[in-house]
Amino acid sequence: MRQSPIGMISATQREARLILKNLKKTSSGNFYKGKIGWNNVIHVISGIGKTNASHAATFLIEKFSPLFIINFGIGGAYPSSGLRPGDIAIADREIYGDEGLWLKDGFHKTDVMGIPLLKKSRKKYFNEFPLDKNLVKKAMKVIPPNPPLIKGGWGDYGIRTGAFITVSTATGTHRRARQLEKRFSAICENMEGAAIAHVCAMYGIPMVEIRGISNIVEDRDKSKWDIRTAAENCQKIILTLVKEGRM
């Protein structure tokens, strides 16, 4: 019997260079396939933003029927998260940060409108999409906090799990970062995750999201960023997870 693949999604090729060394490009657009350890893998480079991410996730699920999806890449950590550049964040839920209603007293989530973004059976999804608890637990078990340096691996880093926010407009001020992290009790910001979680919920496909922290979300200063370390640490985590076969 043919084994269903593990699906992977990153927004850019830069975020997936180590992963792509194990895979070959297919005839289906920005899709790559191959084996990591004993596992068949299908990876798609979606492009940035919610629409590109939704399209990629839908195509991946419809064409390849993955067992589950790993969404990965880099992200910005909110000031109170305790994370730093190079650290790892794992989402326990994804939240649309822009969808909602703006009134005189400010922003309100879609539940105030009374119209869910998704209704499946009796469950209604408004801004928030919980991710697969078993996958999150397995990821945390395989990746203990501050593991020792391993051969061919990486140095000391922190790891946290919590809520991620997906935005259409990336935050570039400290004030806005504080507003968002307080409003949603979130640790990390990105531009694709909630859209992928939304599509996965539609199809009933389990999902886990792992991001390397490239920067703290504050007044924008790219001289403080470390995109390379964030991307490499994240991919090494993914390779460890998939090769060990505990997923």
pLDDT of 158 reads 83
Residue 188 near residue 87 (C-beta atoms within 8 A): no
Q: Report CA 237 to chain centroid distance, whole Å.
A: 13
Q: What are phi and psi of 80, to 5 degrees?
A: -90, 5
Q: How far apart are CA 24 and CA 29, in angstroms?
A: 12
Q: How far apart are CA 39 and CA 45, in angstroms?
A: 19
> Structural domains in the chain?
71-244 (3.40.50.1580)
What is the pTM for the complete model shown? Answer: 0.93
pLDDT of 138 reads 85
Q: Could you tell me the pLDDT band of residue 28, with boundaries at 50, 70 and 90? A: confident
Residue 7 near residue 49 (C-beta atoms within 8 A): no
Q: In this model, does residue 152 exceed pLDDT 50? A: no
Once rounded to an integer, what is the mean pLDDT over residues 178-198? 97
Q: How far apart are CA 74 and CA 165, in angstroms?
A: 13
Q: How far apart are CA 196 and CA 94, in angstroms?
A: 9
Residue 44 near residue 154 (C-beta atoms within 8 A): no
Q: Could you tell me the pLDDT band of residue 141, with boundaries at 50, 70 and 90? A: confident
Residue 41 near residue 35 (C-beta atoms within 8 A): yes
Q: In this model, does residue 123 exceed pLDDT 60? A: yes
Q: Could you tell me the pLDDT band of residue 227, with boundaries at 50, 70 and 90? A: very high
pLDDT of 9 reads 98
pLDDT of 29 reads 75
Residue written as tokens 């922290």? 213
Q: Could you tell me the pLDDT band of residue 24, with boundaries at 50, 70 and 90? A: very high
Question: How many CB atoms are located within 10 Å of the residue 119 CB?
Answer: 10
pLDDT of 1 reads 43
CB hemisphere CA count around 169 (13 angstroms): 7
Helix ranges, the chain (H): 17-20, 50-64, 110-113, 133-142, 174-184, 193-203, 227-244
pLDDT in tens, 73-95: 999 999 999 999 999 999 999 99
